[in-house]
Amino acid sequence: MFALIRLAWPCFATLLLAACQPSRPDVSAARDPAARAEALLADYQGNAPGAALLVVRDGQALVRRGFGLAELETGRAVTPATSFRLASVSKQFTATAVLLLAQDGALSIEDPARRWLPELPASTEAITLRHLLSHTSGLLDYEDLMDPADARQVQDADVLALLARESGGYFAPGTGYRYSNSGYALLALIVERASGQRYADFLRERIFTPLHMKSVAFEEGRSRVSERAFGYSRVDGRWQRTDQSTTSAVLGDGGIYASIDDLARWDAALYDERLLHEPWRSLAVTPATATDEPDVAFYGFGWRIQDDMQWHSGETIGFRNVILRWPAQRLTVVLLTNRNDPEPYALARRIAALWQ
């Protein structure tokens, strides 16, 4: 009996030693890029405004997950179906709407803007739709023309009215680059006049419905956003709802709501001809003008271009978003957040690097 105990002791001692030692990390999990990507979103988890992350490679979702809360007041969680206000990520949809109408023959991107918007002053005679699409119009920023004492929300038509009263610009059309929300608000109006439809209806009928997207160009009182995330800002150490501002009703430059599931469908359509045929599809991501912005060598139509990456960010009160695409690698990363800070571009680049 003693011999049996003595023989068993080494095995027992080994088990005891292993139990007392700190557990080793799961090496397979540490090497899994999806797990590492999700770990990078730790700050968005818990009882706080959250995020939705999509990583797509070769048409397959490698990561498709929500983090944190879409609505703090009810504790409603972010899911892959949660719709975020895209802010300037919306511009690629406005540009596509214009290109769809060009493809239809309803307009030309070389048309003078005043052909469709004669309310614009004579000083804008040389501005074309191409200039509006590529931020080379020189138009004044409508935010600088708004009355700071007026708390009413500005709409696209109001942007036109503000610009109609001005006779100058930042530079002659085509001679410089300056990112312009004004230009994309005007493009939404041009879509309406060239198509005979409301901008929101055109996007729904020509883009969202064909791609089975639940996205909407949000109009207060006319639109319903499915599973909507609300925006928040950190104020004095606490999260406060900051979902709307005086510019939140302008649609052409940033008024679309979409989920990562919607944007997965959108991303897939950018590889084929369900919406735009060649050469129209390529035109959106062809360098139209050089820029002096960080990580933006060129701007196309609704897309920033840096080396082999096509991307765009979106920032508005309570929301920070980014979409990054490497078509040659068939890799896309989308990160949508419903908080005012931080800007998620650097984080999205770190996530993308896990598959590059």
Packing angle, helices 91-104 and 181-195, rounded to 10: 40
Structure tokens at 155: 């709409």
Q: Measure the N-to-C terminal CA separation of the chain; round to a whole number of Å.
A: 61
**How far is the C-alpha of 166 from the C-alpha of 267, rounded, in Å?**
38
Structure tokens at 135: 């931020």
Candidate list 83, 88, 215, 313, residue with the active-site label: 88
Structure tokens at 23: 């557990």
Q: Which residue has tokens 């988890």?
A: 45
Mention every residue, 6+ apart, whose C-beta is less than 8 A from residue 103: 276, 277, 280
DSSP string across 293-325: STT-SEE-SS-EEETTEEEEEEEETTEEEEEEE
Measured in whole angstroms, the distance separating CA 74 from the mean position of its chain's CA atoms is 25
88 labelled catalytic: yes
Mention every residue, 6+ apart, whose C-beta is less than 8 A from residue 62: 33, 34, 55, 56, 355
Q: Which residue has tokens 């089975």?
A: 212
- 162's enclosing H/E stretch is helix 156-164
What is the torsion angle, in degrees rounded to the nearest 10, for the CA atoms of residue 323, residue 326, residue 330 and residue 334? -10
Note whether 213 and 119 are within 8 A (CB). Answer: no
Note whether 78 and 66 are within 8 A (CB). Answer: yes
Q: Shortest CA distance to 249 belongs to which of 134, 142, 132?
A: 142
Give Cα separations from 322 to 26, 161, 210, 295, 331 (angstroms).
31, 31, 24, 13, 14
Active-site positions read 88
